[in-house]
Chains A and B, each alone.
Chain A
C-alpha cells in the first residue's frame, strides 16, 4: 500500500515536471536534467568509451530532449523516452566514428575455442569494466545494450538494423571476448 502510494506520488511529480518542461520552464529543464543526467551519462560513457565523447553526446541528447518534450504524449514513459534518445545519440556518434554493425557472416572474428567454466570464473566489477572498455566498438555496443541497458535482442536488432540472430551471436561472442580479455590480462586472480 505504501509502495503504491509512493508510486502514485512519483507519477504526479513526474507529470508536473514534464508539464512544466513542455511550457519551456528552464528550472524544470534543470530538474529533469538533475534527475536523469547521472544514469544517462553512464550510458554515454559505456557506449562511447571516453568521457569527452560521453559529455558531448549527453549534451546533444538533452538538447533534443528539451526541444522535443512537447511531443511526449505519456509523461509516465518519460524515462524510457529519454533513455531511447540518449541511446540513439550514442549510436549516431558511433556511426560517425565509422563503427558499423554488420551481419555475422560479414565479420571476421578471431575465435577462441577455450571453454571457460563460468561457475568457477570469479568475476569482479573492475575486471568486467576494463574488459568491456577494450572490446571492439561493435561488440561493446551489443553487449552494453543487452546487459546494461536491458534492451531485448529484438529491440537491439531494430536499433542497429541487423537481424536478431546476429545480435544474439554478437552478444555471445562479446561475452566470450570479455572472458578472454580478463583471462589474458590475468585480471582474475
Chain B
C-alpha cells in the first residue's frame, strides 16, 4: 500500500506524532489533591456506614449527658452547696449519734417508746431530709439553714431529756455493767 494514503501514513509514522509528556507541575497538583482525598475517603466510609456512625454518636452524646448529670448531682451535695451547714451537720451528727447509742443500751421496756417514736429519734428522719433537699435547691436561704440548726438542737434537747429520765430510772453505770456481763 502506498505511503501517500493519509491513514497509512499516519499509522506508519504514529510515534512521530507524539509530543513530550506533561510538565512536572501536573503531577505536583495531583499530589496535592491526593492528600485531602484521604479525608474524603473517610467521609465516604462514614457515608457507607452512616447508621453505625449515628448510633455511635448517640451513645457518645448520652455518655456526655450522663456524665454531666452525675457532675451536677455531685455539685448539689450539701458539701458544695453550703460548707458551713456540712460542718454543723458533722458536729450535731456526732452529738446525736453518741446520745442515741447510749439510749439504745437501755432495755425497750424501760425506754417506753413505740417503733414510730424510735424512728423519729433517728438522725435522718423525714423532716431532716425535707430540710436538706430544700437547702440544696435554695443554697443561700438562711431561714432553711436556721431551721436545720434548730432541728438539730431540738433533737439534741429531746435526746438529753430522754437520757435524763432514763438515768433517773436506771443509772448508766449499772446498765453498762449488765451489758458488759452479757458480752
Contact = CB atoms under 8 A, between A and B. Distances in A.
Does B associate with A?
yes
Interface of A: 24, 26, 29-30, 33, 37-39, 41-42, 45, 54-55, 58-59, 62-63, 66-67, 118-123, 125, 128-129, 147-148, 175, 178-179
B17 A59 contact: no
Given A24-B38, A59-B30, A147 B19 contact: no
Contact of A42 (B18, B27, B38): B18
23 contacts: A30-B31, A33-B27, A37-B21, A38-B18, A38-B20, A39-B18, A41-B19, A41-B22, A45-B19, A55-B23, A55-B26, A58-B22, A59-B26, A59-B29, A59-B30, A66-B34, A118-B6, A119-B4, A125-B13, A125-B17, A128-B9, A128-B17, A148-B14
Give the interface centre of B2, B6, B10, B27 by most chain A CB atoms within 10 Å: B6
Contacts of A24: 38, 41
Interface residues of B, number: 29
- Secondary structure at the B interface, as helix, strand, loop or mixed, is helix
Contacts of A41: 19, 21-22, 26
Given A41-B21, A128-B10, 9 more contacts: A29-B34, A33-B30, A38-B21, A41-B26, A45-B19, A59-B26, A63-B30, A119-B4, A123-B6
B25 interface: yes
A55 B21 CA distance: 10
B4 A37 contact: no
Contacts of B4: 118-123
Nearest to B28: A59
Interface in B39-84: 41
4 tightest Cβ-Cβ pairs between the two chains A and B? A38-B21, A41-B22, A123-B9, A125-B16
Nearest to B14: A148
Given A37-B22, A119-B4, A175-B6, A66 B13 contact: no
B24 to A, nearest CB: 10
B7 to A, nearest CB: 6
Nearest to B11: A147
Contacts of B38: 24
Contact of B22 (A55, A63, A148): A55
A59 B22 CA distance: 10
Nearest to B38: A24
Contacts of B26: 37, 41, 55, 58-59, 62
A148 B6 contact: no
A141 B80 CA distance: 81
Contacts of B20: 38
B31 A26 contact: yes
Given A118-B6, A125-B13, A67 B22 contact: no
Contacts of B2: 118-119
Contacts of B18: 38-39, 42
B37 interface: yes
B34 A26 contact: yes
Contact of B6 (A33, A42, A178): A178
A125 B12 CA distance: 11
Contacts of A148: 10, 14, 17
A129 B19 CA distance: 11
A120 B4 CA distance: 7
Nearest to B3: A123
